[in-house]
Structures are given as structure tokens and as C-alpha cells.
Structure 1
Amino acid sequence: MRLSKKKQQLIQRSAAALLVLSGGAAGAAHAQESGAASGAAGSVVTAPEGTIEKVVVTARRREETLQDVPVSVTAFSADQLSKQAVPDVVALATALPNTTLKASRATNSTLTAFIRGVGQADPLAGFESGVGIYLDDVYLARPQGAVADIYDVERIEVLRGPQGTLYGRNTIGGAVKYVTRKLAPRTDVRLRGTLGNYQERDAVITASTPVNEQLRVGGTVARFKHGGYGTNLFDGSPNYDKDLKAARLSAEWTPTPDLFIRLAGDITQDDSHPKNGHRLIAGRTSGAPILSNVYDSNAEMLTALGHKQSVRQHGVAATVEWNVSPELTFKSITAQRQDKSWAPIDFDSLPVIDMEVPALYTNRQFSQEFNLTYTGPKIQGTAGVYYIDANAYNKFDTILAGAVPTSTFTSGSIDTKAWAAYADGSYNLTDALQLSLGGRYTVDKRDADIYRQIYLGLKGTPEMGNPGALLFRTDTDLRDLSREDKKFTPRIALSWKATPSQNVYASYSKGFKGGGFDPRTNVVGTKISQAQALAGYKPETIGTYELGLKSSFNGGRITTNTAVFYSDYKDVQIPGSVAIDTNGDGKDDSFAGLTTNAGKAKIKGFEFEAVAHLTKEFSLSGMYSYIDAKYNEYIVAGVNVADQRHFQNTPRNSANLRATYEVPMPLAGYDGRLSLIGSASYRGQTYQFETPSVIDQDAYKLYDASIVWTRADGKIRAGLHGKNLSDVHYKTAGYLFPTLGNEGTLTAFYGAPRTVQGTIEYRF
């Protein structure tokens, strides 16, 4: 593998920086040790009294201590999530280096995820995220419903960088793994309740019991509900509210000590009201003023196909683990999932019909994975095969006022069939030096049907509930589209334990995401040809070099993880919606999907995490990350506009600092511990799209605090939690179509305001 002089210089300088850091006070904790104090921990290995517990993660599909695994991974234990009252995966982003996790625009439950500049912001059919979401090793092909509320988990792991040689689906940017608890060997009942401002009322009940020595059954039911942060002034309904119900059932059978079988099913129903944006401009023709409360709206669209907003998802999975020998384990993961969403989206957020999109999304997937894990004294590794068969379908109207009011119907159905074979193994060259090699061969096949018709008037189209609509013309009728992409992606890593507490690693990994078809494609009024529409967009690839150092000091009381990385990103898939002129009169009268492949980009960055147990009672943890992501080639109409484009959802600087003070405190005759937790986080300027706009968010800071009492036996925990204490209003997404409709659409969505919750947990 030959490197250019620039890359060689970067690696040499990075190595020098790491050596300087290793000789000083801190290093990093990508999945920081000591979950009790750090805010980042995986499962815990029992340690003698007076020493620091070690974190065990499964980042490489086998159990390893965090400081030994040559991968950038951060993990959060169930105990730490509980202490900080983390509501969902989005709330973890403030503590994660170079990571953006947020609810997509106009939704509560669709996830937008970016890691190290790689992600996918548009949740429409046909696009898979650059960040893989996994539930107990089951890959979730679509982001709908992925903003999962945290319950019934053992830990959450977040991996950064390409993960193709280790996981069923190729994940080009990283992975978020939910690891649920295995059922306890005795009857276990847990209750959790939350009361807070904005009428928050949450309840979670978990119970499990052994049926006999081999069989255990259990389940969880949960309800998460709060009122709106604002109000829809059109009908008085709440805006930014939450009304979600969830349940999970599982059965675990261990017929022999070497065979474990789990059957699990889950269902989620989100009946929150539509989340509507805040207008940043006055109405262009009506003069409607900008509302003073950023969480208020005047949106009049309330239903889609006669349904209020609703997201329902459910899935079942069967996992079989067979210990063939003490060194060899066979695993089978079979899963099926479905979701359906009715989404009334009022782009203009005004009490008039100007730009509205009632939509229906459906997704289904079946996946099967077989893998073998070997853990010998000299060789350790994982190898497997993976198959997925998925369909993503959406249909929607674009109801648009103007000189000629129209309702445009668009439907897109994307079938994905993909299979892969992968392997990743490590060989101990010496007691201190380990070499890891991996590879993956992927075949992605996509078939698509895309259809688009324009009807006159503002009452919608026949497919979306208006049978009397008058057809004007058919713009797009693309049937039986098909493409197949194949790729081999390697990984190599060298890990050296310079001392028992200093682990240096260097790695190169390549990631791949197949091409596809934009389900909103329209050749009329766009700058794409019929041939381009038939071919679809190309696959994207990334090659990442990483140099890292994992250190511990003072008997493990200080742990540090540091990494520098450099990525070559090619044919970057950038889906988006653009205003178009379909009749050639010089005025935009509709919008369509336009997915481009930006030719080349370079990404380089630095990540640092640390945990310091300064005293028995007081600890600090924190992270700082820096990323420089730039396009080198971005061709628009034959012109390279790379210097005018930015990476979206990728702030240059991010930081977090958390302090925890724990002291013994008896209460009501019971021994216990009081935990005082405070944190501050910083995120630099964030671009919402590739081109700058008023929707972009300037740098901001968030402050959180918790006071938690835990009984000595762990059966009772009570806490008071404040989040976004300075009540910062920060933008997370938006719609940018100022030239469309009579009023113009320029709206923004915001993160949660200041919230205060009281929590109580009881374990029988």
C-alpha cells in the first residue's frame, strides 16, 4: 500500500502528536472505562475493591476490553444512561466525538445520523444511511423509527469509521448498536417513572421470570408522553409534543450449556402531532408575521390520506448461538421488520394552502446472517455471510399555490437485494504486537419504479384521496429500473502494546455504499437527462487511515483515548430536493429530487476522550473533536463548485465536559449514594445543507445537571434532571424553498428547550 508524501507527512505528524500525549496527563477513552463516573461504559468486568472496573465491548463481534480493541468506539452503559436520564439516542450526540444524531425535519422518530462527515440526511425511499443502526446485531435498513427511546438496554455502542468487515451490512461511516439485556436467572420486575415540565409523563414496566432451568420469558411495556414545546395556532394542537407507546417481548431457551436461542419481538406506535417548523421570513404575499415563539406554528395541514400523523414499526428476530468448542462459536441472526408512516408535512407553516406534502412511507425488510467467531490463543476473528431483501416505498402529493395551482403526485418503490461475505481476523505476532486483516465482498442490487403526475388545483391527487382531480400531464414514468454494484473492501490494522497500559494502533479500512435511484426523480425542469435518470446515482467509497492511542495511568484511574484520521471520500452521494421550472417560464413551480455524486472529498480529524478519577468521590470525563471536511471536486453543470460547498451536519469543533461527585448518603433508614452530575457541551457552526443558508446553526453551548440518589442495594433510584438549562434555541433542520408558492418556504426546526424531570426507578 503506497502512500503519497502528504499522507506520509500527516501520519508522521499524527504519530508525533500521539507520543506527546501519551507521555502526559491524558489520552482518550473511546468507550471510556468506569461506567459509573464517565458517562461512557460497556458491560463491566468485576474488579477487586479499590481498583477501576474495565469496560467490555463487542465492537469486533467478540468480547474485548475497551482499551485492547483497535477501533474507535464509545459505549454507554445502562447505569449511566439511567443516572443521566438520557431519553433517546439523539441525546448521546453531545458526548460523542465528530457525531451528529438528531430527529429529521418534521418528525419525532426518523433519525439523521452523521459520523466523521459521513451520513445521509434525506429519509426517503432508496437511500440507506452512511451510519448503520443495529438492534441486537439486526441492521435497520431505514431511519424511520430509529430515534428509539432508551429502555431495556444493557449498553449502546457507537463505532466510528467503516465497519464492513465486521458487520452484516456494509456501514461506510460508522454504526450505532443497541444491545438489549439478556433475561435474568430469577424473577425480575422493574418500574421506571418520569414527571417533568411540558406535561411529561413516562412509564416503563419490565418483567421477566424463568419458566424452568432452560427457559426464561420476559417483556417490557413503555409509554413516553409530553405536551408541546409550542402550539399550532391554527387549531390549538400541541407542536413538538410526544405520544409514543412501545413494547418488547422475548423468550430465551438454553437447552444445553452450549446452545442459546432467543426469540424477540418489538412494536412501537408514535401518535405525536405533526411537528411543524418555524418560519424565518414573513409571508411573501400575505405579510404573515414571524412568530415570536420558535416552537409555535400556524400550519393547517393535519392529515395525510385521512390519517393523523402516525408511525408504526414492528419486528421479530431469532438469534441462535452455539458454542461448537471453547474457541469456536456459531451464530445465526434471522430478522424481519416493517414500518408505516403517515406524514402530513406543512412546508410553509401557514394557515393557508401554499406548499404542503401529505405523504405515506412504508418499509419492509428480511435479513439473515450466519457468522463464526474464533478466539484462540494466537488467532481471533469473525467470518460470516449476510443477506437482506428490503423494499422502501413512498408516495406523496406536492400541493403548491402559484399562478397555476397544482398538486403533483410522486411515487417511488425501491427494492434492495444484497448479499455479502466478510471476515476479520487478528494474529498475535508477539505478546505485545497484533496484526488484524479483514475483507468484505458486497453485491448490491436495486430495482425501482418511479412515477410522477401533475394535476390542477390544490385539493390533492386521486392517489392521495381526491378522485375528482384533473390530470394535467405525466412527467415521469420510469419502470423496471435496475442496477447492480459490486465491491471488495479491505481492512488492515496493527496494534502494539508498548506497555501494559499503552496501546497504539494504526489501521486502514475501506467502506462502500451501493448506488441507487432517487424516488423523486423528474427529468422535466431538472438538469439531468433521461439516460442519467435510468442509470441512477453511483456508489460511494471511502478509504480511512487512522492512528490511535489508548492509555491508562495511575492504576486505571485515568484513561485516555486519542485518534487522528484521514479519509479519501469519492463519489459522495448527496440527495436533495430542488425547486424546478417545469414549464420554462422562468419561475419555479415545483420541486423534485436531485441526487448528485460529488466527485472527491478529503476529511481529516482528531478525537480525544478521557476519564479521570481524581478522588474516590470526584471524577471528570470529557471529549474534544476536530474535523476538517472539504470537497475537492463537486461538478454542477460542468463547473467545479467545490469551494462553494460545505459538509452538512459536521461541525468543525465539538467538546463535552462532565463532572461527577458521589458521596454516601443514608436516606429514610437506608444506605445509599448521592450523585451530583453536571455537564457542558459545545458544538461549532453546523451547515444544514451543502450550500450556506439562514437555516445554518451558529456555535452554541448546552448545560445539563442531575442529582441522583441510589439505594445501596440498587433497588431504588430517584433523580432530578435539568437539560439545556440556559434554554438555548438551536436549529437542527429546515426547509429551504423561498421561490416556491405564493408565500415562500423558509422554515427551521429546533432542539428541545429547557426541560426538568423527576425520575424514580424501583426494582423488586
Structure 2
Amino acid sequence: MKYAIKLSTVALAVASAITSPITIAEEKEAGLEVIEVTARKTVESLQQVPVAVTSISADELNEKGIEVLTEIQQFSPNTTLQRSRGTNSTITAFIRGVGQQDPLWGYEPGVGIYIDDVYMARPQGAVLDLLDIERVEVLRGPQGTLYGKNTIGGAIKYVTKEMSGDAELNLQGTIGSYNQRDVKLTGQYPVIADKLYVGFGYANLQRDGYGEFLQSDLSGQDKENYNKDVVSARLSVEYHPTDALSLKLKWDKTEDKSNSKGGYRLLPSILTDAPVPDSVYDSYTSLPTWNKVEVEGVSFTANWDVNDTTSLKYVFSDRESYSPTNIDFDNTALRIFDVPAIYDDEQTTHEIQLNNSGDNYTFVSGLYFYDGDSCGQFEAILEVLGQGAFGAPGLTREVSGCNNSTSKAAYAQLSYDFTEKWSLTAGARYTKDEKTAKVNNGLIFDTVYPESGWIDGYIRPDGDLVPTVLDDKEDWSKFTPRIGVEYQANDDVMFFASFSQGFKSGTFNPRASTAEPAVKPEDVNSYEIGVKSQWLEDKLRANVTLFSLDHKNRQYISVLPGDTAADLNQRLGNIGTSDANGIEAEFTYLATENLMLSASFGYIDTDFKEVIDTDPATGESFDKSDRFTISNTPEYTFNLGANYTIESSVGDFIVNANYYYRDDYVLFEEDSLLTQDGYGIANLSLNWYSIEGDWSAGLHIKNLADEEYMVGGYQFVAPLDDGGYAPGLGGDNTLIAYYGDPRTVSLTIGYQF
């Protein structure tokens, strides 16, 4: 039964190197499916790689009805992948308590996002809709040796489908809750047999909002909140001039015109008479509701098999994104704290990779170059405060600037089998970073918008009129090693231990109000021990890892007191040290030919050991670690799943169900006022495949119990001893939450020509 033996819940690979030289083809065909991954930049069996990795195949994604990258968090322990606050396309990614909460330009991520080995430097547009995909890989723990900086938590790899060489055309349509209506078209065509192929993909994804903007004065504007309006396209050309040489050119573009997300007010406004909405998906706004995220990229890959043991690979990429966005922090009909913004990013990368393998070793090496510009502008509009406190038409804090960076790196990793049972993996990477930053920051007693056509108001004709407060340059260099030892007890059981190191790049404060220095890179040292195993004639896969990590020089924004409530003074510094200890385990059991059971579990104990800040009034240092908690990191997560195949005269039916639970977690590190209680999500799918294999259908019910859970927010209030709150920036009670998807039902029908 080909559907019964598809791996429905992927096993976790916890660290494990190639031991005895067993190839994928030589693994047992009976029992569980062999899963291929590229975690070490070569194709290997999941059970052989020395990285903690979860791989979810295209078949499983379809059977579960997974549509966007953020849904992958359910199947990877100690992983958080969620939509960010004001948009549908910006990602918040944390693995093992390490990530990036603030998506502002210039900040560096802690979890790297990759499309076919091409790094996406910014979180805008990183909530990828799954189109023409082969699999998604989640690599947990620092990946500093092979993947470089900004992967101190881990890496997410989006792997698109390889060309098969055959003519294919796939059409898929979906209808569902909230007037969901999606169309996906993918295919390929051999222009010259065995030589030249062209592939393409197109998706038009539409959905009404889960809620709406409630006020009636939004004439002519779309009042849908949490809606979806995404168009995505891909084009690829693959040429094989010889059997040893392949050339691939890929282009992709995504345009997200979904409305800006309005947050849910958890406290009533003290400046307006609008009540707290009845639905967590309803909101108010004084900004236009439109929003836009445009992401476009091109890549070129040349792969040359020099001989049977050596290959040479070159990867070029150029990506850019542009995002004018409207973020209403206070979510009222007044301009209390509005932040229209523009994000404008561009990056170019080059990578040359040399791989060599023999009877008892595998060697991977390469050179890497990155050149990126991360620019933006935002206006913090406090119009009501300006009128009340100063009698001016309004009040706006204007901030703009760029972080321009280059990064050069060389890396190498060797996996060597000393005996049939013992092996060693050792690698290192040297990185040289250089960053130039310019920040303009000024206050004007008027209402200012960065782009015409938003709302009538004064528009500065030249951004340089805003005072330049920071114009500086800095460079850093880092050496990040990895070493691991593996013991192959028998063909099915392997024990391992490893140490790895990674770093998150240094940077400048994009909100700087003075000429403050750059912060140093963050460092993570990670230790892992565990076992990978298969039992019961390869019907049971059980992988367990224990990990411990030290996170040093954590970069953090401190909010400084000002003379008035209009001040938006923030200082970036290396003030934090934390650690984390935990366990990750995944089990997959082929109970019968038709029934697959799965379970995964993650536990993590995190703690800030030290947070040193300086009192700006006295200059004295003090430790405030008792006020800090690792954000977006529940103590434990687990997932239980089942997959059952039913044969019939009209085709095969596959029933797929899973239950995912997340323990409670905070949304902010310092004095968080937003804590999400533990919650569980149940999902159920019924899939049908025709006997001929051309027709398919899937009915998917997600969040069956309609759980409400927070994924982001803003807090600009101060708690009082009596349980109340004092107003914060803007003069209002701004405590806002954003929520994950409610219960949805969808029906997908596909046809393969």
C-alpha cells in the first residue's frame, strides 16, 4: 500500500553522523519510508545526519492540508513559527528559546529561513505559502558551521520540487470557511528530452477576514480584518548539457495585499468611547486598512560532478522586498499611536561549494559572500497627545535609515568513519562581517506620513531634513566550530554526542536617538547527546536528544525614560545571558500495513542568568534578570497523530488526525503583561485518491475546538499596585493582542494531467 507506508509524522533526527558507510539505497525497504534531507548540504537519509532535523514531505503537507510555513511548528518540538503582529507575511521564529521578536529593519534573526539553500535575511515575506514544494526541513540548534551567522536557534529550509523530466500539469482548487477560494497551478515541460526543462507555478489565494474593523467612518476602505489576498508565481529553467553538469535558473515573486492586521484591545481606551470588541478578530483603526508585502527573487545554481567522488556547486541569488505597511498600535479610531512604515530590503549572495566523499568519509566545504541593504522608515504619530499637551496640530516621531552589511565566510566539515562502529564529525566556519548604519530621528509638531496618498497630512520632501543621529561603521569576525562523535551499536541503533557554536551578527540600533555604539554579536554554545533508533523490523522509529545551550551577549532594547510622554528613547545593548536545557523526542510506528501512529514531545527549561542594565540618571549598573522571561517558548509541546488508509473500489481514502499542545508562554521578555495559557489544537483530514492516480480530494478541519490563542501583541501601559494600569506612550491604555487562526473547514480538489 503506497499510501499506508508514506511517513505521516516525520521522525526527528537528533544529532548523528554517518557511521558505517550505509547508503540510502542500502537501507531496508520494509517498514517505514526512508526520508531524505539536505541538512548537511548533501542528500542523506534522515537517520544519518548529525543535526536535529524534522523533515515534512509534500505528501504529508497535502494530507494534513498544511498551507503556510507557520503550521510546521506543530510537528517540530521546541519550535515557534507564527505570524508577526501587523501583517500576515512577517514571521516570528523561535527554536529552543532563540529567535527574533522585533521585525524592524537592521535587526538580525536568530532562526535562518532558506529557499533552496538561499538565505532570506528579513522576516518580511517569510511566512511562505507552500507552492510546488518537495519538503520542509526544520534544523534545530546552532547551524553556524554549514549555514553561518543568524542560525543560532536553527534553520528552516523550504525545498522546492526537482524536475522529473516528464510533462506534468497539476491543477488544485480550494473552497472553505470565510469564503476561502484558492487556485494553484503547477507543471513542467521537457523542451528538449533529457536536456532542457521548464517548470512553473502559480497561486491565487483569497479569503475574507476572520473579523472586521468596526467603526463606520472607513468610507471606501476594505473593512476586513485578518483577510488574505496573496498572488504567488514561480518559474524555473533547468538545463543538462552533459550527464555531469546541470544548470538551474529560478525566479519567484509573491505579492501580499492582505489588509493590515488590527489588534484586539484587551483594555478599554481612556481617550475614546469605543468598547472592547466582542471578537478577538475585531478591531478599530485610524489608519488606512490597506497593506502590501512584495517579495521577489532570482537564483542560479550550477552543479558539476567532477568525478564519482567529487562535486562542485555554485549558487547565486538576488532577492528584494518592499513593504509599505500601516500599523495602528493603539487600535482606536483616534490617532493616538499610529505607526505607518516602509520596509525596503535587498540582498545578493554567492556561494561556491566543494564536496568529496570516499569509502569512509564525507567532506563538505565552501566559500560564501553576502551583500545586503536593509532600509526603512516609520512615523510614530501621537496626534492626540500633541494637541492636548502642546496645542500643536499633531506630534510625530520620525525615524528612518539603513543598515548595509557584507559578510564573507569560509567553511569545511568532515565526517570520518574510524571503524565500522565509531565515527567523528568535525567542522568550522570563519566569518567576517562589516556593517554601516545611518539613522535619522527627529520630532515634529505635525502629523507626518512617509508616503503620499495615505491620509492627508504634511509630507517632508526630503528625509534628510530629519536629523541624522547615527552614522557609523563596525566589523566583526567569528570562528564557529562543530565536533561530534557517533557510535553505531548495530544497524538500527546509534548513540551520539556533539558540540556546536553559532553567532548572531552584531548590529546598530535602527531606533537610535543618539550616536550609540553597535552591539556585539550574540553567541550560543550548544551540547547534545542522544540516540537514533529503529525497531521491530523498521516499523518503529524512536529518536531522542538531550540538549543544553548557553546564550551570551543577548541583544536587547531598553526603553529609557524621557522628559515627556512623547519621547521614544530606546537603547540597544548586549545586556543578557541565558541558558536552556531540554529534550526532544519523536516516535513513528507502523502499527499495521494501513495504520501509522506518531508522537513527538519537546521540553525546555529556560532562564535568564543575568541582565545587566545601566541607570541613565546615576550611571550605576544593576541586574534585572528577575524581570525577564524567555519569550515565545512554552515549557513543553507535544503532538499525537494517526494516519489510516482505507481501500475501496473507487480509490484509497486516508484519514489523518493530530492533536497539538503548547504550554503557556509569554510574548515579551521584560515585564511581560501578555501570557498565553496552555492550549491544544485538534485537526482532522479526510483525503481521497482515485485508482488511476489523476484525481484527489481533501477535506480539512483545523482548530476543531475553535481555540483562541495569542501570537503577538503590544504593551504600552504600566501596571499599578491596585491591579490597574497607568497609560503609556500616546497617553492611552495600549495593551493589544493578535491571535492565531480560528476553526476553519476547507475542501481541496486536485487533478493531474
Normalised to the residue count of structure 2, the TM-score between the two structures is: 0.91
CA deviations 1:392-449 (Å, max 9, x no partner) are: 0010111013123411110020001010001111110001211010001011111000
Aligned residue among 205, 215, 222 for 2:185? 205
User: Which residue pairs with 2:359 in the alignment?
Assistant: 377
The answer to whether structure 1 residue 115 and structure 2 residue 95 are counterparts is yes
SS of the residue 2:8 aligns to: helix
C-alpha distance 575-206 of structure 1, shift in aligned 2 (>3 A): farther
User: Which residue pairs with 1:709 in the alignment?
Assistant: 688
Residue pairs, 1:423-438, within 5 angstroms: 423-438=412-427
The answer to whether structure 1 residue 610 and structure 2 residue 587 are counterparts is yes
User: Which residue pairs with 1:560 in the alignment?
Assistant: 542
Aligned residue among 735, 744, 749 for 2:733? 744
User: Which residue pairs with 1:735 in the alignment?
Assistant: 714
- For structure 1, the residue ranges without an aligned partner over 5 or more in a row are 1-32, 524-529
User: Which residue pairs with 2:207 in the alignment?
Assistant: 226
User: Which residue pairs with 1:629 in the alignment?
Assistant: 606
Aligned residue among 471, 474, 498 for 2:489? 498
CA deviations 1:28-65 (Å, max 9, x no partner) are: xxxxx964332569999698875332111111111211
SS of the residue 1:52 aligns to: coil
TM-superposed deviation, 1:701: 0.7
C-alpha distance 212-339 of structure 1, shift in aligned 2 (>3 A): same
Q: Give me the whole-angstrom Cα distance separating, in 1, the residues matched to 2:487 and 2:578.
A: 31
TM-superposed deviation, 1:554: 0.7
CA deviations 1:187-214 (Å, max 9, x no partner) are: 0000111100101011100121101131
Residue pairs, 1:141-290, within 5 angstroms: 141-167=121-147, 169=149, 171-213=151-193, 214-234=195-215, 235=218, 237-290=223-276
Q: Give me the whole-angstrom Cα distance separating, in 2, the residues matched to 1:195 and 1:468.
A: 43
Residue pairs, 1:501-650, within 5 angstroms: 501-523=492-514, 530=515, 533=516, 535-575=517-557, 578=559, 581-582=561-562, 584=563, 587-637=564-614, 638-650=621-633
Q: Give me the whole-angstrom Cα distance separating, in 2, the residues matched to 1:409 and 1:55.
A: 51
TM-superposed deviation, 1:600: 1.8
User: Which residue pairs with 2:51 in the alignment?
Assistant: 71
Bigger Cα displacement from structure 2, 382-391 vs 176-185: 176-185
Contact (CA 8 Å) 1:457, 1:469: kept in 2 or not? no
Q: Give me the whole-angstrom Cα distance separating, in 2, the residues matched to 1:55 and 1:461.
A: 49
Q: Give me the whole-angstrom Cα distance separating, in 2, the residues matched to 1:41 and 1:216.
A: 34
CA deviations 1:286-330 (Å, max 9, x no partner) are: 343111111001112016xxxx31111101000000001111110
CA-atom RMSD in angstroms:
2.2
Bigger Cα displacement from structure 2, 742-751 vs 499-508: 742-751
Q: Give me the whole-angstrom Cα distance separating, in 2, the residues matched to 1:575 and 1:82.
A: 41
Aligned residue among 680, 684, 693 for 2:659? 680
User: Which residue pairs with 1:10 in the alignment?
Assistant: none
Bigger Cα displacement from structure 2, 647-656 vs 450-459: 450-459
The one-letter amino acid paired with 1:481 is D
Aligned residue among 395, 403, 408 for 2:397? 408
C-alpha distance 414-426 of structure 1, shift in aligned 2 (>3 A): same
TM-superposed deviation, 1:510: 0.7
Aligned residue among 678, 703, 727 for 1:724? 703
Contact (CA 8 Å) 1:99, 1:114: kept in 2 or not? yes
User: Which residue pairs with 2:379 in the alignment?
Assistant: 397
C-alpha distance 410-558 of structure 1, shift in aligned 2 (>3 A): same
Q: Give me the whole-angstrom Cα distance separating, in 1, the residues matched to 2:582 and 2:460.
A: 54
Q: Give me the whole-angstrom Cα distance separating, in 2, the residues matched to 1:461 and 1:191.
A: 41
TM-superposed deviation, 1:84: 0.6
TM-superposed deviation, 1:475: 8.6
Contact (CA 8 Å) 1:242, 1:271: kept in 2 or not? yes
The one-letter amino acid paired with 2:314 is S
User: Which residue pairs with 2:725 in the alignment?
Assistant: none
The one-letter amino acid paired with 1:90 is T
User: Which residue pairs with 1:15 in the alignment?
Assistant: none
Q: Give me the whole-angstrom Cα distance separating, in 2, the residues matched to 1:72 and 1:446.
A: 31
Q: Give me the whole-angstrom Cα distance separating, in 2, the residues matched to 1:476 and 1:595.
A: 19
CA deviations 1:466-508 (Å, max 9, x no partner) are: 447799x999623431110111111001111111110111000
Q: Give me the whole-angstrom Cα distance separating, in 1, the residues matched to 2:638 and 2:339.
A: 37
The answer to whether structure 1 residue 302 and structure 2 residue 310 are counterparts is no
Q: Give me the whole-angstrom Cα distance separating, in 2, the residues matched to 1:575 and 1:469.
A: 28
The one-letter amino acid paired with 2:130 is I
Bigger Cα displacement from structure 2, 59-68 vs 250-259: 59-68
Bigger Cα displacement from structure 2, 490-499 vs 456-465: 456-465
TM-superposed deviation, 1:461: 6.7
Contact (CA 8 Å) 1:204, 1:222: kept in 2 or not? yes
TM-superposed deviation, 1:593: 4.0
Contact (CA 8 Å) 1:394, 1:412: kept in 2 or not? yes
CA deviations 1:720-752 (Å, max 9, x no partner) are: 100001001100000111212233311100000
CA deviations 1:41-94 (Å, max 9, x no partner) are: 999969887533211111111121111212100000000001111011100101
Contact (CA 8 Å) 2:181, 2:205: kept in 1 or not? yes
SS of the residue 1:162 aligns to: coil
Q: Give me the whole-angstrom Cα distance separating, in 1, the residues matched to 2:101 and 2:507.
A: 16
C-alpha distance 459-393 of structure 1, shift in aligned 2 (>3 A): closer
C-alpha distance 619-537 of structure 1, shift in aligned 2 (>3 A): same
The one-letter amino acid paired with 1:698 is D
Bigger Cα displacement from structure 2, 312-321 vs 455-464: 455-464
SS of the residue 1:377 aligns to: coil
Q: Give me the whole-angstrom Cα distance separating, in 2, the residues matched to 1:466 and 1:388.
A: 39
Normalised to the residue count of structure 1, the TM-score between the two structures is: 0.90
User: Which residue pairs with 1:484 in the alignment?
Assistant: 475
Q: Give me the whole-angstrom Cα distance separating, in 1, the residues matched to 2:745 and 2:635.
A: 30
